[in-house]
Structure 1
Amino acid sequence: MRRLSLLDSLLVELDQSMRTVHAKPPVSGRSVTPENLTSRADLTDKERKLAASLMRINHAGEVAAQGLYRGQAMKARDPEVKLQMEQSAAEENDHLNWCGERLTALGSHKSFLNPVWYWGSFSLGALAGAAGDRWSLGFVKETEDQVLKHINNHLQKLPPQDKVSHSVLLQMKQDEQHHADIAEAAGAAKLPFPIRKILMPLTSKIMTGLSAKI
């Protein structure tokens, strides 16, 4: 297989970013899709807006995850780590599509800041990848741990009647835990305290706050 030049690689990533933000990206082929994604639960306007806000945050998070994994895969040195990143990105595409379909069913829109979330995360992923595979895997582990906290919080906030969105988040939770476990087993390094406890939580807070509304 011909090795891609830097320009070719960037063009591939540009194409991937457009698919992620503006189209329906390819799914992993798994048969775990939650049923009735387009079902509209019997929600009040207030409940529908709340559910849509939460699912928009989750969708934006999956856009960011795509950028993160793609950036890391581009810089990964170990072929197995690169393959792992690409497989995780494919599974995150499932989440991306599920959240997108739920937003449509809830009569709402995706975050208008998705291009920012994608390329910002891509840059962070590439930096983490350039630092070495152990640090890159550590970044995955910490990111997934924080995503799990958000999902648990959203499961408590979602209107009980919106069972489809609950089903989506439960499957996402299972997948995110799996990705965190794989990264840890592959030798993830523990990130420095300022990154884990200050920088990443602050970035996440800004992203979730803006995505909930914009």
Structure 2
Amino acid sequence: MLNIDELISGVDKVVRVVSGVASASRPNPAAKVADGQLDEAERRRSAGLMRVNHVGEVCAQALYDAQGAFSRSEELKRQFRQAGREEEDHLAWTAQRLEELGSRVSLLNPFWYAGAYALGAVAARIGDAQSLGFVVETERQVEAHLDSHLTLLPAADEKSRAIVEQMRVDEIEHGAAAQAMGAAATPAPVQAAMRAMAKVMTTTAYYI
């Protein structure tokens, strides 16, 4: 039977996620970091990279929401909820940094959320081990992506760097937790497809 309160709460969350409105449960790791002097080109580069990171967190919310909703295990549902709460911190931190940089979140956030939710639902329907494997591979690719951003961010942008570094730590922990819970290996063709989709997303979200 449909629970109207849960439905309203779910819709409210989706609206907040795609619009860039989120609340962090942990302090922003960049809160006490001085804002460096960035020229206009550096500011645009930081904004583009942080917009990509924000889109990644929109997708993470969708994935964990879907995987939790369709998981067969109560233990996994709890794990996905916990990981989702930590990812919401990332969502709030990246949105705040975009505002500080005088920029905005991606205009395509509803599209990114819908696509990621569909992928998460499919992964969960296949089976819990496969769903966990999807998390492991996703977090592995995200870790590599964040590593690249630590190189690409302007040297003076220590605030963005502090956020990305904490995000990287959390993503590694999420992948390790999923592995410990019995993740199945993700087939190589699926890994390749995930990388291709991520490339489209990151390239587009940098600008739009």
- What is the TM-score of this pair, normalised by structure 1? 0.91
Which stretches in structure 2 are left out of the alignment for 5+ residues? none
- Matched with 1:80 is 75
- Matched with 2:198 is 204
Q: Percent identity?
A: 42
SS in 1 for 2:167: helix
Shift of 1:12: 4.0
Contact 1:141 1:183 survives alignment (8 Å) = yes
1:89-133 deviation line (CA, Å, top 9, x unaligned): 100000001000110111111110111111110111111111111
SS in 1 for 2:31: coil
Which stretches in structure 1 are left out of the alignment for 5+ residues? none
Tell me, in whole angstroms, the C-alpha distance in 1 between the residues paired with 2:169 and 2:91: 15
Supply the RMSD in Å over aligned alpha carbons. 1.8
- The answer to whether 1:60 aligns with 2:55 is yes
- Residues 119 and 164 of structure 1: CA distance in aligned 2, closer, same or farther (over 3 Å): same
1:90 to 82, 85, 95: 85
Shift of 1:41: 2.4
Contact 1:26 1:90 survives alignment (8 Å) = no
Tell me, in whole angstroms, the C-alpha distance in 1 between the residues paired with 2:20 and 2:62: 15
Tell me, in whole angstroms, the C-alpha distance in 2 between the residues paired with 1:113 and 1:38: 30
Tell me, in whole angstroms, the C-alpha distance in 2 between the residues paired with 1:74 and 1:50: 36
Shift of 1:25: 2.5
- Matched with 1:179 is 174
Count of paired positions: 208
- Matched with 1:166 is 161
Contact 1:56 1:99 survives alignment (8 Å) = yes
Query: Residues 62-141 of structure 1: matches in 2 within 5 Å?
Result: 62-141=57-136
Tell me, in whole angstroms, the C-alpha distance in 2 between the residues paired with 1:38 and 1:109: 21
Contact 1:39 1:105 survives alignment (8 Å) = no
Tell me, in whole angstroms, the C-alpha distance in 2 between the residues paired with 1:61 and 1:6: 29
- Matched with 1:41 is 36
Tell me, in whole angstroms, the C-alpha distance in 2 between the residues paired with 1:202 and 1:137: 20
Moved over 6 A (4+): none
- What is the TM-score of this pair, normalised by structure 2? 0.94
Contact 2:63 2:117 survives alignment (8 Å) = yes
Q: Which amino acid aligns with 2:74?
A: P
